[in-house]
Each structure stands twice: as structure tokens, then as C-alpha cells.
Amino acid sequence: MNLINMPKKTVREAIVEAMRKANSPLTTREAYDIIIEFDYYRFNAENPKHIVQSEVRRHCEGLDFPTAKPNKFFQLLKDGKYWLSGVGVPGATQATTKTENNLRKESVKVKDIVDDLKDIHQKHTTAFKQAILEQLKKIEPEIFERFSRSLLEVYGFVNMEVTKLGKDGGIDGHGKLKVGISYLSVAFQCKRWKGNVGRTEIDKFRGAIQGDYEQGIFFTTASFSKEAANATIKKGAVPVILIDGPTLVDIMIEKRFGIDFETMPVYINALDRVLTEEL
């Protein structure tokens, strides 16, 4: 076969061509064998059979997993073989066709349920984060300072201390963070506010730590103004990291700090991978 004059196919197009050539449902192994026999595609991969399997499954109706594609070109039959989506199965009886249609309907139901679960999970996460943030806004300032110290400790800071109330000079706590083989002196300040924190507060904090610390961290349960965000890095001055309310909650979730969680597995049908494949 002269490949020079052949239009270049994608893997998916080669699989479709193999099914049309066979005029019957195929396992991915059978599809691969036909592709090789008729030179529909030339693979440059260590495991080309796996590529064929992945391409079919990602574009198959009823198989919805994180890497699945929205465009579906194949359908999964009850015997674990695949056929072209929207095309009648060659040689299928009326009873078989009815069974296959029922299976597809059930797959659609499962997909809709999974989509609903994902939507509920997203709504729960949003409401949960907001509830945690509202709770943080209501705690006493000195408790928020201790909370911030403990959060930094969970993140890897050491020797963290909260300064005595009324004698902090604009610094609520300090400690060290190991960077390479040395330690970075860090100070932090906490503002349990409802409104935006402006640049003035950042400049005051930087002035309080300049010369004594190498990095500053500014916590707030609110948010930072655009001017404050632009003032984090200043030439010749101590850099200040800004952590607003939503970021604070995200760190809590990331580090499982003050957060418990339950694992609820969502099962995805992959039975086709073990019924007929010999990869």
C-alpha cells in the first residue's frame, strides 16, 4: 500500500475504519489487529494496543471518567465489544437491539446521577467554605492570632510565637521557615476584618518588620485592595505575603487543619476492560 498518497488518519479514524472493514463489533485488540493488517495507522509508541483501548473508551457512550471526551463515536455492547455510535449493530436481532438500547438508557441514568452528585458536591464545597470563613470572622482577635500561628506550624514554620497583646508593635507573631540549609525569619500580622485591607496597613506592617525579619505574612478574614496586592513586593523592602479569607480556608482544606472529611467513592463502569481484552 502506498502511504505517500494516503490521507493521514487519526487513531480514532483508524479505529472507525477498522470497524467498518470488519462490519462487526470488535474488541480493542481486534480493532488494533485490523489497523496493523491494513496499515490504517502507524504507531510510534511503546504500547500501541493501550492507545487504541484508551481512544475507544474515551469516546464511548456510557463511559464517563475524568479523561473521557464529550464527543462520542463508539458504543459499548453487552458482550464487552464496541461498535460505531448511532449505527445499528450488524446482524443484531430485534431482541438484542432492545437489550442494547436498555443498557444505554441505564448508562445515561447513571451518568445523570453522577453529574448531579458533582453539582451537589460543588454547592456543598462553596457553602462549607463560606460557613468556615464566617466562623473565623467571629472569633476573638487573640484567638485568631493563635489560630494563624498554628496554621503556619502545620505549613512547616518552626519556633512560632504570638507576641504579647499590646506590645506587638504591629507584629502579632514571629518564627522561622527552613529554606534549604538555612532558616528565614518571618513575622505575621492578623486582621479579623470585614472590609478590605488597604495598602496603608501593608506599609505599616512592612515598616514594623523591616530590618528584623526577612519575610512578612499578612492574614485577614476579609480581602485586600488592588493597591495592597500590588504592594507585596517592593524593591529593597521585605516581601509580604497576603492571605485573604478564601485563601485561608483553602489552606485549611489543603492541610486538613480544622477540617474533617468523609470519603464517598463514586464508581465508574470499567467492566469492559476485563471482559474481552488481552492487552
pLDDT means per 10 residues in the chain (279 residues)?
58 94 93 94 89 92 82 87 89 66 67 82 94 93 92 92 71 90 92 87 92 93 93 88 95 93 79 60
Q: What CATH class does 139-243 carry?
A: alpha beta
Per-position b or e across 211-242, b if 16+ CB within 10 A of its CB: eebbbbbbbbbbbbbeebeebeeeeeebebeb
Residue 233: its pLDDT value, please?
87
Any alpha helices (H) in 182-236, and if so which ranges?
Answer: 199-209, 226-229
Supply 45's cell numbers: 509508541
Residues 6+ apart with CB under 8 A from 217: 152, 186, 187, 188, 189, 240, 241, 243
Residues 41 and 35: beta-carbon distance below 8 Å: yes
Q: Which residues sit opposite 158 in a β-bridge?
A: 176
**Count of CB atoms situated within 10 Å of the CB of 126:** 10
Q: Cα(first)–Cα(last) distance of the chain, in Å?
A: 27
* Residue at grid coordinates 454547592: 123
Distance CA 215, CA 105 (A): 59
Task: State the pLDDT at residue 1.
Answer: 47
How far is it, in rounded angstroms, from Cα 238 to Cα 204?
12
The position carrying cell 483553602 is: 250
Residue 188 bridge partners (DSSP) = 173, 217
The sheet carrying 215-220 orders its strands as 158-162, 173-179, 182-191, 215-220, 240-243
CA distance 190 to 162: 11
Which residue carries 430485534 as its cell?
Answer: 94
pTM of structure? 0.65
Residue 107, C-alpha cell as written in the block = 448508562
Cell of 150: 498554628
